Chain A
Amino acid sequence: MPIDEALLERVLLLESVSEFLYREADLLDERRYTEWLDMLAEDYQYSVPLRMNVAYGETDAREETRAGREICWFDEGKETMSLRVDQLNTGLHWAEEPVSRVSHLVTNIRLEAIELPEVAVSCRFLVYRNRVADETDFLVGRRKDRLRQVGDSWQVVRRELLLDQSVLLAKNLSIFV
């Protein structure tokens, strides 16, 4: 059977992207934040808009707040991410002291566009946090990433999360989703 070169290339690309995203999840769950920061491009942009309950016909216009203009949960770049890491590393950040136990599940990974050296990836996330004793949060939703090939690995250039909650049922977002 002849090998479909294009398909093979795509499969290998998907494999490489998936491997990168799983490794990223591991670094976060193991609290290796400084190493994790290296996975983010210098021009990294992170946004988590607010979700809203609006009428069926208005979902396109109103369902999410717009990054870059309106209030979001997050809408920031790498500099702030580094500050957040610094804060976690002080050992005085009581929202994460004692530290939470966190598992990031990344699934439904699809390559949406291949524009090498960049690719657009969509996936679902499920982040479970358990804290102190009975404090438990599930953060679930859709994620769109833009990754850039750097050497034989990747960097995250842009990440947009759509959290499936309009009222955040967790008391805070002190972990990286």
Chain B
Amino acid sequence: MTTVEEPTGTGARQVRDLVDVRKGEISREIFIDEQIFKAELENLFPRAWLFVGHATQVPNPGDFFSSWMGADPVLLTRDDKGELNVLLNSCRHRGMRVCRYDEGNTLQFTCPYHAWSYSIDGSLVDTPGALHGVPQQKAAYGTNLERQKWGLVRAAKVHNYKGLVFANWDPQAPSFDEYVGDFHWWLDNLADAFDGTEGGTEAYRGVHKWRIRSNWKFVSENFLGDTYHGASTHASVEAVGIGPGGKGKRRHGERQNEGGFSKGRMKTSFRRGHGASDNLAYEVPYPEFAEDDLNDYFVAAWEKRKEKLQAEGRLLGGRGPATLFPNMSFAGGFPRTILVAHPISPTETEVWRWYLVDKSAPENVRDWLRHYYMRYAGPAGMTEQDDMENWDYATEASRGVVARRYPYNYQQGLGQETASDLAGSVHSHHAIAGEVNARAFYRRWAEFVDNLSWPELTELARVDDRATERDADVTDVADGVKVLDAVDVVDGPPAQ
């Protein structure tokens, strides 16, 4: 059990005591405190499944992409058998980062310090990442150096989910599928092509990377369910309009007359900490584009996807922002993008944004989406610029001694959760407000940071204790998946 000293020195406590989801109050300490941050690095990031990169970033044997898992630098590599590996980017001799390139193709990583070399793809040794060359090995070590023991540390588990590559350091961790559960529907909407082709997406080359002066959890929380901030934070974008239709509102072109992006929007919150800002049970077409050729592409893609999903008994919702616990946020629609918040300190974060496009998209679609993504998201994007302002100054203004005595308020929709037929989740029916997802996220976060064992974590997440009432509007669909009927359209801008 992790214990943290009270700032006032009154003794040990659990991190869980700082997260009161019953009252909807969460201590500011968890966004500011050094020791809690250390406990996160120790107990959360090395045990959670973390997004590392997209498989299309390393298409060929010998390709590598540098990434981070929590505060640890890692290398995503493709070996000569076509398999993906995740290796700790730190030399086993004295810790030097063996590779400081962002991407490339190589046979081996040679450490700049004393030149130990590690095979990237296993073609030089048995296992990718194994220690392959040690200068003056005989003279320096005689027969004592057991080279097979001193390869780069490998992630215990690596999982390629439709091109999204995740890794986990903990051999005891549950499988990726178990960790994700029914939340995978949202990952599908991200990773599948606009026409529903499974895993039919690729990452554009170029990952936005930038530093912010906020706690990393502000980022996760924002995308997992904070649709509340859109109207105020993004008022300037609403005013000038940058949506797919080119004019009007931020999401002009989202076929507002058919409900737009807000139709059926509500929160879906998983006991395991994942959350999404919408439900799966509505069929909103793709945006209406000003350009005919784009319209043709997306109308055809939507028709095809609709046919495919309906055959599986599903509707087409679930494109809105979502967060996979703990720090991978994404949206499966417009823009279609992945964001990871890498923790640096309690008040510093490095944010990375990847953008996805259909593998089969023609040049005009590819180019149009690329422009749209850049003007919407990322640090130069007209929408995201304002988010960072909030997170940074919220962090700053929460650092004071007096400020820290007062918890944040997470009481939206408290006690109004309804059961979901997606396993281990509940809904909140208010389309814009509702902090149900954040409460679940922080409860799960505290269970990890308090270092509960995997059996304990699994047991706690087995049943969702938040809602006992079944929702009245449950529609049966094929193969056991049930989805809720779309709720009323609620006025107000959707947000991300």
Contact = CB atoms under 8 A, between A and B. Distances in A.
19 contacts: A53-B102, A65-B206, A69-B370, A70-B206, A71-B207, A73-B208, A73-B374, A76-B374, A80-B371, A90-B235, A135-B392, A166-B209, A167-B209, A169-B211, A170-B210, A171-B213, A171-B389, A172-B385, A173-B385
Given A87-B237, A94-B389, A168-B209, 5 more contacts: A65-B206, A71-B206, A72-B374, A171-B213, A171-B388
Identify the 7 closest CB pairs spanning chains A and B, nearest first.
A71-B206, A168-B210, A65-B206, A95-B385, A93-B236, A173-B380, A86-B240
Given A54-B101, A171-B213, A83 B379 contact: no
Contacts of A72: 206, 374
Contact of B370 (A49, A71, A73, A172): A71
Contacts of B374: 71-76
Interface in B212-254: 212-213, 233, 235-237, 239-242
Interface in A84-132: 84, 86-87, 90, 92-95, 132
Interface of B: 100-104, 106, 204-213, 233, 235-237, 239-242, 350, 355, 367, 370-371, 373-375, 378-380, 382, 384-386, 388-390, 392-393
B102 A54 contact: yes
A58 B242 contact: no
A76 B374 CA distance: 9
Nearest to B206: A71
Contacts of B100: 53
Contacts of B384: 172
Contacts of A12: none
Contacts of B209: 166-168
A167 B382 CA distance: 19
A33 B380 CA distance: 17
Nearest to B379: A172
A124 B389 CA distance: 28
Contacts of B388: 95, 171-172
Contact of A71 (B213, B235, B373, B390): B373
Nearest to B246: A79
Determine which residue in B211, B239, B389 has the highest number of CB atoms from chain A within 10 A of its CB, and name it.
B389
A149 interface: no
Contacts of A53: 100-102
